[in-house]
Chains A and B, each alone.
Chain A
């Protein structure tokens, strides 16, 4: 695609560049959603539009939209272009999507995580489409000499009803390329009732490739002359190679190279977010199997470093000691919780805990790299490729401008691919063998034993209720990991954690211990554990008060102080500057009521051993209330049915993707609840594969998960995460009602429970 003419029309009223394309099409070059958002907030001066982020309309009316975010299965490849295409008024079947490369220094950040794509993109993507449509209307009006108000659009055409004329966008493209960009203040967005694409079910854009087995994933990357690598690291984080039998290894069949990787690495009391390249041994061979087979013959003497004596038993003992001692810090103190507990009619006390768990996306970590003429070319599926490239640059000493990066589809992310250790390893290996492309694949054991784990933790809770059952005092001693005032990654609890603002006397205190394994964000970070604790404990209070657990929650939500104003966005706007407002109780009440209505809460008569449980949780700006129906026989739990009610704003952009993601949230939550636990012994992670860190299988999945949405007036928000947290306590609360067992420790398998 050669641009024949370029006109830069960046001014306050416009936000894209318009250019003609050889052969007669037109191209609109867009800045990124985040940049537009920053402008909208009066942030930094508008950055120049990125020429790799565009909408192109060809002569035949085909629309090509470049998708810029990494796709990990969350459906973002459909959603953002759907917003553009609807406002542009073209048919979805004529839209082609291209995945943007991360291939030069023009890009700043393209990332996927935190359920942020939808809220960031909702307005700017629609505006971009609407502005494009407005320009086709202007071009047609000029061509026919009629007022724009007499023109309508549809299916990529401009129509003039009274003269029965119609012209395709493709034919207008050359004229549009000569027009100035429209005044954005006059570009009208569609009313929701006019949507033809948004709000309709669309299958994943790549679905034909997926069902025919096309090589679209990171592990599928294949290049001429490519070699295959594996990488053996010390089981203890930060361990170093003292000696290894590399001479023997190099002689094994198919093996081409073997290297000791020696790098200084930070092995602190709390391991920083991305500690860099770990020490170890890289084996490069003809096929991955040859490399991995040679690896089985490795004899390595390790210097295991400072973390080799850590264990889960040790963490537990330390937590018990900390729980008995005075808390190290007070994170929040509203009113007088101690006083309220003293005068309460009833005090309920309980200790909850949850383990480390692994992300284990089904596609193991991998990355392909080639070093040639001082430059690195890489193929990867990081959720934060920008950070990955920087880490590669810092570690292997190639300037970022000399690293090109192709973004390949990821077989799941769940937060694991926010960190980029495998990228750095691939780059390091490639640099040792210039001119040869190398694909590094981790084994499942590598993935499970070198993760950034969802941190475990303990919460010692105490609450007082008055004679009417109302919560008058709440105390939580939160036991986590960290060092002094620093929490380990994803190990913190915020001072506004529910039910802060809904209980007059609220104290949140914390104590931390150090740890030598890496922690990080797993789908719905912190919420995935906190919802279980808080919503189970609230259930305990409801039962102690002799109240219906659903009505008890509604009353609690209704008692809250108003939402405080959201924190101001960081100066200059910018990325990662999303400042989510606090929970709006009204919206959560709406979700609760819908879940109760759909599940016929309290209206069904169940036999002994079968019951419903309910829970809600606010995370990533999504409001979710969920009801689970279980049957408990002995230690076997059957999940019969789930009702999910969510409020993620005024519009569900792709209902097919949305329902699928909610199913995933529920099933993922079932795995976390019942069966997942990472333990540490002698500084090493014990579990290595799905036989010891399993997940729910199809025979355990419920027959029905009903998914309902409250359409509120709020702007749409993301769905990658918020449906997951409430399912854990909803099921646990149902198990309590069905069996009388109040289970406070995750996973429930520790109490002998399992899915039927």
Chain B
């Protein structure tokens, strides 16, 4: 079945089964590899992307549900990799293996879009769907605070990227 998708500001067509999860459309059809497969059942968050600015677990989100809503992956979070979260992640040296981090950053970006100055509790609530097998949680908290301090418009930029045709 043909679907017209808006991914990272680009319009694109794919011919895939309607129940194919967005994750596999992104990874195997559109060759966008940032979103990762970790569990396939919405337990780990490694596959988190934004659909209409909302974080979704793309492994459990059928492509047929996307419609005209804008999809943003980590590749499209910022043009040059300098979103405040990306900068903060580098400064704080968050990753160990790095596998979960695309999902972590996308969940964090959605959090900052709604709550520009989150408390630890806000962070814990928003990020509890994202597992980190390596245990980088303390640095994730630190980096989100750092990104929040960097700019009140960090989140606004994200939304713009997400909705740009």
Contacts and interface: CB of A to CB of B under 8 A. Distances in A.
Contacts of B135: 663-668, 696, 701
Given A213-B33, A213-B73, A699 B96 contact: no
Interface string B85-96: 110011101011
Interface in A191-225: 201-204, 206-208, 210-217, 219-220, 222
Contacts of A207: 89-90, 93, 95, 98
Contacts of A203: 90-91, 93
Contacts of B19: 293
Given A208-B90, A213-B74, A363 B99 contact: yes
A288 B24 contact: yes
Contacts of A12: none
Interface in B6-63: 16-17, 19-21, 24, 27-29, 31-41, 43-44, 46
B44 A213 contact: no
B140 interface: yes
Contact of A72 (B21, B89, B97, B129): B97
A691 B90 contact: no
Given A73-B96, A364-B37, A211 B101 contact: yes
Nearest to B126: A698
Interface in A637-652: none
A690 B24 CA distance: 20
Nearest to B21: A289
A212 B20 contact: no
B165 interface: no
B130 interface: yes
A74 interface: yes
A660 B134 CA distance: 9
A660 B31 contact: no
B96 A660 contact: yes
B131 interface: yes
A660 B139 contact: yes
B36 A411 contact: yes
B28 A287 contact: yes
Given A203-B90, A289-B24, A412 B33 contact: no
A320 B116 CA distance: 57
Name which of A228, A287, A443 has the most chain B CB atoms within 10 A of its CB.
A287
Contacts of B101: 210-211
Interface string B101-129: 11001000000000000001001110111
A469 interface: no
A203 B87 CA distance: 12
A212 B81 contact: yes
Contacts of B138: 663, 701-705
Contact of A362 (B16, B40, B100, B140): B100
A451 to B, nearest CB: 14
B99 A691 contact: no
Contacts of A695: 131, 133
B99 A362 contact: yes
A220 to B, nearest CB: 4
A288 B24 CA distance: 7
A221 to B, nearest CB: 9
Contacts of A287: 16, 20, 24, 28-29
B75 A213 contact: yes
Contact of B96 (A288, A661, A705): A661
A699 B90 contact: no
A253 interface: yes
Interface in A65-79: 72-75
A569 interface: no
A357 interface: no
B137 interface: yes
Interface residues of A, number: 67
A248 B72 CA distance: 37
A671 to B, nearest CB: 8
Interface string A332-376: 000000000000000000000000000011111000000000000
Interface string B128-153: 11111111111111000000000000
A295 to B, nearest CB: 12
Interface string A209-249: 01111111101101000001000000000000000000000
Contacts of B133: 360-362, 411-412, 414, 668, 695
A611 B28 CA distance: 51
A690 B99 contact: no
A394 B59 CA distance: 36
Contacts of B29: 287
A492 B12 CA distance: 57
A664 B140 contact: no
Nearest to A413: B97
A215 B43 CA distance: 22
A734 B143 CA distance: 30
Nearest to B140: A698
Contacts of B27: 288
A410 interface: yes
Nearest to B130: A698
A443 B43 CA distance: 13
Contact of A703 (B85, B120, B125): B120
Nearest to B44: A690
Name which of B34, B75, B85, B139 has the most chain A CB atoms within 10 A of its CB.
B34
Contact of B95 (A204, A443, A704): A204
Nearest to A670: B135
A441 interface: yes
B45 to A, nearest CB: 10
A444 interface: yes
Nearest to A361: B133
Contacts of B136: 660, 663-664
A351 B61 CA distance: 47
Contacts of A699: 124-125, 127-128
B133 to A, nearest CB: 4
A253 B17 CA distance: 9
A362 B38 contact: yes
A223 to B, nearest CB: 11
Contacts of A360: 133
Contacts of A324: none
A703 B139 CA distance: 10
B97 A211 contact: no
Contacts of A412: 96-97, 99, 133-134
Given A73-B96, A204-B98, A228-B28, A362 B137 contact: no
10 contacts: A213-B34, A286-B28, A288-B24, A362-B36, A412-B99, A444-B41, A690-B39, A695-B131, A698-B132, A699-B127
- Return the 5 tightest CB-CB contacts between A and B, nearest first: A213-B34, A411-B99, A73-B97, A667-B135, A213-B74
Given A690-B44, A698-B127, A703-B138, 18 more contacts: A210-B101, A211-B101, A212-B34, A213-B73, A213-B74, A213-B102, A214-B33, A362-B134, A411-B99, A411-B100, A412-B133, A414-B133, A656-B93, A663-B135, A663-B138, A699-B125, A699-B127, A701-B135
Interface of A: 72-75, 201-204, 206-208, 210-217, 219-220, 222, 228, 253, 286-290, 293, 360-364, 409-414, 441, 443-444, 656-657, 660-661, 663-668, 689-691, 695-699, 701-705
